[in-house]
């Protein structure tokens, strides 16, 4: 949801190596689980960067890293990729490496997918993102899927 951004972000992991200073990395390893409002990300590692005490970016890797979020219309956005770069300030998520997005309206598979959390827009391919494979679901199955 667009309100997710203003929620606290809870993260747990097997271990962390964290520099408390600004712009220095706070690295988390092992069973990383992030919850921020309806946003839920699971990964093997996470690298969190802060500036002026605020989170700026979270870079996650996994085999794959997975991401779920409920959209403002109540439907579910699901995604997975080898790397997930969440830019908290710009509210965008860049999925790279076997990226796959699943929404009621259809699925997209590409090597690079950009998801704008503010607008809900999904962009794929470009920047060496390779070919895009997209499947659009017929209207009635969307309604069923949309709940």
Partner 1 sequence: MNWRALATALLLVGAALSGWALWSQRERDAGRAEAVQRPDYVLHDFELVVLDKQGRESFTLRAPLLERDPQVKTMAIATPLFLIPPRPGGNGGAWEVRSRSGWVSADNEELRLRGAVRAESVDAEGRPIRIATEQLNVFPQAKRATSGVPTTVTQPGLILNGRRLEADLESKRIHLAEVKVRYERTAR
Measured CA to CA, the distance from residue 137 to residue 145 in angstroms comes to 9
| Distance from chain centroid for Cα 59 | 10
Q: Based on CB atoms, which residue is closest to partner 1, 46 or 101?
A: 46
Q: Based on CB atoms, which residue is closest to partner 1, 36 or 124?
A: 36
Name the residues that contact partner 1, by CB under 8 A: 6, 8-22, 26, 28, 48, 50, 52-55
Q: Based on CB atoms, which residue is closest to partner 1, 87 or 102?
A: 87
Beta carbon of residue 35, minimum distance to partner 1 (angstroms, whole number): 10
3-state SS, residue 32: strand
The answer to whether 128 and 143 have CB atoms below 8 angstroms apart is no
The answer to whether 117 and 93 have CB atoms below 8 angstroms apart is yes
Beta carbon of residue 17, minimum distance to partner 1 (angstroms, whole number): 5
Beta carbon of residue 48, minimum distance to partner 1 (angstroms, whole number): 7
3-state SS, residue 128: coil
Beta carbon of residue 65, minimum distance to partner 1 (angstroms, whole number): 17
Q: Based on CB atoms, which residue is closest to partner 1, 24 or 136?
A: 24
Residue 44's alpha-carbon distances to 13, 80, 84, in angstroms, are: 9, 13, 11
């Amino acid at each position: 949801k667009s309100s997710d951004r203003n929620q606290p972000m809870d993260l747990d992991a097997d271990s962390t190596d964290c520099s408390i200073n600004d712009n220095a990395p706070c690295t988390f390893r092992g069973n990383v689980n992030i919850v921020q409002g309806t946003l839920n990300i699971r990964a093997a590692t996470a690298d969190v960067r802060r500036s002026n005490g605020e989170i700026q970016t979270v870079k996650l890797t996994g085999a794959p890293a997975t991401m779920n979020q409920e959209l403002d219309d109540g439907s579910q956005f699901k995604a997975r990729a080898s790397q997930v770069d969440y830019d908290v300030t710009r509210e965008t998520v860049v999925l790279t490496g076997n990226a796959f997005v699943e929404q009621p309206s259809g699925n997209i598979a590409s090597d690079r997918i950009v998801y704008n959390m503010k607008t809900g827009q999904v962009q794929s391919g470009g920047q060496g993102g390779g070919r895009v494979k997209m499947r659009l679901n017929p209207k009635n199955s969307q309604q069923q899927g949309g709940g």
